């Protein structure tokens, strides 16, 4: 794994070569990337120095104000740490697919939110999930999923500690979503690394109007950070299944919400086929 070193200092002389920086920390220079965070008045001097150095492909620079702007973008968009890191690392000038995926993430996170109840049925009043219940029906093969081949499937990422939320609420939250998919697939990160669950979507409601089985603060992991502007995706009753044939990770990871069609979901061999 590449190692990042943040050079945050007032530049009064030319930056030290990256081999020097790496040797100071007893690191392999080929595994080290550098980022200079500098004052606005120093940008041109440092950029020109880096451009003419032997480490121009391993060092990047950014002004302090731009770094703070990037932090605001991350907080507003919900982008993951890994995505921001990929933006700061030197880009592959031949294959810029990672940059395209990052732009796609930002666009999807900024999709206009559907109005409450627009094009959807509201949950019946008084509906309350059973505390400690398990909405998981059982297992299902992807080929058994019905509906049209072009039915929209939303792929959500989650850590393993998000699974209790699925089971107790027959729903997923708290997300930004601007479309109305017919299915939801759950990609479990970490050691699992696969799309493990699927459910039919009933409705999408504002987080402030969702009825949950437990108080919000009792949920850990992905559900612990509450944003009243996000949504809860409610599933059809008796439609949440664990996949008998999960979709394993290949090279493409759904760091954020992604969409695919049902036929691609049914026939996918790896995540590369649906992302």
Please state the three-class secondary structure of the chain as a single string. CCEEEEEECCCCCCCCCHHHHHHHCCCCHHHEEEEEEECHHHHHHHHHHHHCCCCCCCEEEEEHHHHHHHHHHHHHHCCCHHHHHHHHCCCCCCCCHHHHHHHHHHHHHCCCCCCCCCCCCCCCCCCCCCCCCCCEEEEECHHHCCCCCCCEEEEEEECHHHHHHHHHHCEEEEECCCCCCCEEEEEECCCCCEEEEEEEEEEEEEHHHCCCCCCHHHCCHHHCCCCCCCEEEEECCCCEEEEEEEEECCCCCCCCCEEEEHHHHHHCCCHHHCC
State yes or no: pLDDT of 91 exceeds 90: no
Most confident of 55-69, 158-172, 201-215, 259-273: 259-273
The answer to whether 20 and 51 are in contact (CB under 8 A) is: no
Question: Between residues 3 and 124, which one has the greater pLDDT?
Answer: 3
Per-residue model confidence as pLDDT tens digits over 198-224: 999 999 998 888 888 877 666 655 554
By C-alpha distance, which of 108, 59, 52 is closest to 83? 108
Label residue 225 by pLDDT band (50, 70, 90): low
What are the extents of the domains in the chain? 3-109, 136-273
Backbone angles phi, psi at 170, to 5 degrees: 50, 45
Distances, alpha carbon 223 to alpha carbons 26, 186, 187, 217, 231, in Å: 40, 14, 15, 8, 12
Per-residue pLDDT averaged across 244-252, rounded? 92
Is residue 55 within 8 A of residue 17, CB to CB? The reply is yes
pLDDT interval class at 247 (50, 70, 90): very high
**Nearest-CA neighbor of 228 among 214, 219, 220, 216?**
216
Residue 7 to residues 42, 84, 274, Cα–Cα distance (Å): 14, 17, 38
pLDDT band per the 50, 70, 90 thresholds, residue 121? very low
With the CA atoms of 17, 89, 188 and 129 taken in that order, what torsion angle do they form, in degrees rounded to the nearest 10? 120
CATH 2.30.130 fits 136-273, yes or no: yes
Q: Is there a contact between 3 and 19 (Cβ–Cβ < 8 Å)?
A: no
Question: What per-residue confidence (pLDDT) applies to 99?
Answer: 66
| pLDDT at 9 exceeding the cut of 60 | no
For residue 266, pLDDT beyond 90: yes
% pLDDT > 70, the chain: 61
When pLDDT is cut at 50, 70 and 90, the band that residue 96 belongs to is low
Q: How confident is the model at residue 226 (pLDDT cuts 50, 70, 90)?
A: low
Q: Are strands 59-63 and 32-38 parallel, antiparallel or unpaired?
A: parallel
pLDDT value for 193: 92
Q: How far is CA 182 from the centre of its chain?
A: 20
Percent of the chain with pLDDT over 90: 30
Greater model confidence, 134 or 133 = 134
pTM for the whole structure: 0.59
What's residue 174's pLDDT? Answer: 85
The pLDDT-based confidence of 68 (bands split at 50, 70, 90) is: confident
Q: Minimum mean pLDDT among 71-80, 170-179, 191-200, 229-238: which range?
A: 71-80
pLDDT for 127 equals 39
Determine the pLDDT at residue 238: 93
Q: Give the mean model confidence (pLDDT) for residues 84-105.
A: 66
């Amino acid at each position: 794994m590449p190692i990042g070193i943040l050079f945050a200092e007032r530049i009064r002389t030319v930056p030290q070569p990256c081999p020097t920086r790496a040797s100071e920390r007893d690191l392999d220079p080929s595994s080290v990337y550098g980022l200079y965070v500098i004052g606005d008045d120093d940008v041109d001097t440092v950029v020109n120095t880096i451009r003419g150095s032997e480490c121009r492909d391993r060092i990047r620079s950014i002004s302090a104000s731009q770094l703070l702007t990037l932090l605001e973008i991350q907080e507003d968009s919900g982008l993951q740490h890994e995505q921001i890191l990929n933006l700061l690392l030197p880009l592959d000038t031949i294959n810029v697919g990672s940059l395209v995926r990052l732009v796609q993430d930002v666009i999807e996170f900024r999709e206009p939110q559907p109005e409450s109840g627009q094009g959807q049925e509201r949950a019946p009043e008084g509906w309350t999930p059973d505390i400690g219940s398990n909405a998981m029906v059982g297992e299902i093969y992807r080929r058994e999923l019905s509906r049209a081949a072009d039915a929209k499937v939303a792929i959500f990422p989650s850590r393993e500690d998000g699974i209790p939320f699925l089971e107790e609420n027959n729903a997923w939250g708290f997300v930004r979503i601007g479309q109305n998919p017919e299915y939801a697939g759950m990609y479990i990160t970490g050691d699992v690394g696969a799309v493990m669950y699927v459910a039919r979507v009933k409705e999408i409601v504002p987080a402030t109007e969702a009825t949950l089985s437990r108080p919000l603060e009792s949920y850990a992991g992905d559900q612990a950070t509450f944003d009243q502007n996000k949504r809860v995706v409610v599933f059809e009753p008796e439609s949440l299944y664990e996949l008998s044939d999960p979709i394993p990770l290949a090279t493409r990871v759904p760091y954020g919400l992604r969409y695919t069609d049902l036929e691609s979901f049914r026939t996918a061999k790896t995540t590369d086929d649906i992302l």
